[in-house]
Amino acid sequence: MMEQFIEIKANNPGSLLFYRMGDFYELFFGDAIDASRALGITLTRRGQHMGQDIPMCGVPVHAADDYLQKLISLGFRVAVCEQVEDPAEAKKRGSKSVVKRDVVRLVTPGTITEERLLVASESNYLMTLARIKGAAEPLMALAWIDISTGVFRMAETEPSRLLADILRIEPRELIMPDTMFHDPELKPVFDVLGRVAVPQPSVLFDSATSEGRIARYFGVGTLDGFGTFSRAELAAAAAAIAYVEKTQFAERPPLGRPERESGASTLFIDPATRGNLELTKTLSGEREGTLLKAIDRTVTGGGARLLAERLMSPLTDPERINRRLDSISFLLEEPSLCSDLRSSLKHVPDMPRALSRLALDRGGPRDLGAILSGLEAARGVVAFLDGSILPDELSEALTDLKALPVTVESLLGNMLAQDLPLLKRDGGFLADGANSELDEVRALRDQSRKVIAGLQLQYADETGIKSLKIKHNNVLGYFIEVTAGNAGPMTDTPEAKARFIHRQTMANAMRFTTTELADLESRIANAADKALTIELEAFARMVAAVTAEAEAIKAGARALSIVDVAGGLALLAEEWDYRRPIVDDSRMFAIEGGRHPVVEQALRRQSSGPFIANECDLSPKNGGEFGALWLLTGPNMGGKSTFLRQNALIAILAQMGAFVPAASAHIGVVDRLFSRVGASDDLARGRSTFMVEMVETAAILNQATDRSLVILDEIGRGTATFDGLSIAWASVEHLHEGNRCRGLFATHFHELTVLSEKLGRLSNATMKVKEWDGEVIFLHEVGPGAADRSYGIQVARLAGLPDSVVTRARDVLTKLEDSDRKNPASQLIDDLPLFQVAVRKEETRRGSSKVEEALKAINPDDLTPREALDALYALKKQAGEKA
């Protein structure tokens, strides 16, 4: 057996080998050590190999999914090794023959289909990266598939946007040729992705054979009907198929035909911007506090995935955007219809994932039940939509829903029982009346208890033994049991011995059988086997019927998701007073009463008062061709970062086809969105906070176009004052004259406000504050003009800095502002003792209780001159010790 394990393991390096032994998957050698640590299970031993104990651990087959989930989440890949031979066949080769086993599946993060291993609201993408060297066409392409739903897409890319394109899709696993994985130019990309990136042999990416591999998978002679693809795209798509075939072996997931995406069709959002804006996860990796969490009102898994897909890939085509907006507008105008649709959608299970499991022979009766429930719910949605004058998107969805296979729904409805088991091997999933032969054998199986009870009564009357019982165990089957003292009537005469055949003698009992009982047992056993055989045959027929209609079912499921997303966004708009944006090809960016969607909801949950709405108008000035820049100044805690982010988020919401948190919004399509807000470092790559800031700023200045939206906060603050001011100054000029983009530039360099006199598209704006009785009140309002100071010391006091530090800071600030020296800080050197005195005074104030108590105890009128002098020396000593 260990020889078999070692041989199979050698053929599957890099994966933990789940070796099936009875009801357990066992792991040996290094796999056992790694698995026991990762799973927290006991490590044992089994025999020896080359004089050393063999480490071993195992997991029960019935609970394997839970362990797989943990291993996959930790980055492991698992090879599942099953018995591929009947043990009876193995015994024919000899009593010591080992049952044949082989790997039937490789479980990797990008190829899982089990319901318990997947998150219903998240796609599970496997992505491939291919590169064609020396070609005139684009050199690189990505393909991504979700075998749990059948999605299959591809797109061209290039090194400058590679990481952004990958993070837009958020694959669970990215494979590329091993030669590319070790390319120094691409190493920074793979370093960011970490264990998601997995190198594979280059032969999987052979562009010469890629077209043939794709055609064979889909059973077509040519790909002409699929569209036109570049060599790099074909190589990436073929590699995805090759990896699926490698991990799924003989099984084939029902992948849709590959669809080509153009990079220009979606809003480009670079990696830093995605992180800063916290679209689908916060900087700490949580879903709570993200834009997706704030806007998600979907009620189906497919709808949640489609919403996330749209959020991560906003459109740049106003026509497609307005098609989506039309659906929301329609449902807002029909609140009763929207409510009815959402009620029906709540009963829609995850049909695409159930379909995938069935096609891969991993499905069970409940997956067939999910298909049936989905088809029935779809019929309800059709009934609600049919007869209405629908916008284009919903009209097309209705067409796909009407095309769902009625024959499949009828077949499943007639065949499936109400309560379905998890596994098909458990049987009991066919309804009574679905199969007449099954009904007969079920009757025999289910009525066997009555038959046995009748026999028991007959034998008791025949022998006169009232305590006679008919029992069953797995060794003897059915048998008659009497106490040893009562066995006489069954053994005393030859006739009795012939009728009651002795089986076993116990300490206090004897066991018998009869020809009649043995025959009944055989028929009962055969009935159970026959019933399961009939059900498994019916299961296979139902699966075949379902998979034959895979494309129609997936199209219908996609239509249900579209209705779900539109209904959810309509509910969101009604609940939070979101408005329909105007989206066109202009350079407009005019937002009235804009709000931050995440912060607004957080304030309501905390009962912290209403969100202060603000306007933002970056539209071209005086009929100009290009959009405007705002230079935003104001205090810390005044709301600058919130204002910056909310305008970026409003642009994303508008272009994903959603209503926006504003009184009104007119947005000319943004082709690229850049947001540089907040400070971070990248110590692993040797980058300081300032270096990261400069790298991200460089990417913005090099890539932004006149259609882009740029959000920048505090550029240049991480270095010397004049250096930082110079960098910020030059950056504003470049955005204005070079990029000519729409943008918000927040800064504490108030010197930059003079640029508005020189740069025609630049306007000054500030966060308003109010001073009252020495206190600063942050109004969180944006208005025209420039801030005269930053109120940093007031914020420091609010943060809890010691009073002595705050007081000294005010002194230093006053001297710096009043100084006319080249280096105003130099005059403060002589004042350093003042700071020490201030601290000492503060410490004395806090810790002078003993001196004060001594003073209180002295009555000068009662002291002689000598006593007064001694008391003074004592106080001086105490004060000196305290100092």
Annotated binding site for ATP: 634-641
Give yes or no for a contact between 56 and 34, defined as CB atoms under 8 angstroms apart: no
Euclidean distance between CA atoms 859 and 552, whole angstroms = 102
Distance (Å, rounded) from C-alpha 770 to C-alpha 782? 13
Distant-in-sequence, close-in-space partners of 429: CB < 8 Å, separation ≥ 6: 365, 368, 416, 417, 420, 421, 535, 539
Q: Rounded to the nearest 5°, which phi and psi values hold at 105?
A: -170, 140
287 close to 281: Cβ distance less than 8 angstroms? yes
* Pairwise CA distance, residues 315 & 265, whole Å: 6
Gap between the Cα atoms of 219 and 760, Å rounded: 61
Token pair recorded at residue 613: 């709405």
Q: Please report how the helices 351-359 and 515-548 are oriented relative to each other, as an axis angle in degrees rounded to 10.
A: 120
- The SS3 assignment for 848 reads coil
Two tokens, residue 694: 């400069």
> In terms of Cα–Cα distance, which of 654, 629, 664 is closest to 743?
629
- Look at residue 200 and give its three-state secondary structure: strand
Task: Catalogue the long-range contacts made by 280-287 (C-beta closer than 8 Å, 24 or more residues apart).
Answer: 280/170, 280/308, 280/311, 280/312, 283/678
User: Kind and range of the H or E element at 547?
Assistant: helix 515-548
In DSSP notation, 665-722 reads: EEEEPPSEEEEE-S---BGGGTB-HHHHHHHHHHHHHHH--TT-EEEEESTTTTS-HH
Cβ contact 79:16 at 8 Å: yes
CB 167 within 8 A of CB 267: no
Tokens representing 631 are 């230079």
Neighbours of 647 (CB within 10 A): 27
Query: Which candidate, 584, 776, 777, places its Cα nearest to that of 667?
Result: 584
d(CA 327, CA 395): 9
Binding site, by residue number, is 634-641
d(CA 628, CA 621): 7
Name the pairing type of β-strands 44-49 and 78-83: unpaired
In angstroms, the Cα distances linking 714 to 213, 729, 783, 785, 814 are 52, 12, 19, 18, 24
Return the DSSP state at 137.
S
Three-state DSSP at 701 gives helix
Strand partners, 451: none
Q: What radius of gyration, in Å, describes the C-alpha atoms of the chain?
A: 38
Six token digits for residue 488: 């006489």
Q: Which residue has the tokens 């019935």?
A: 62
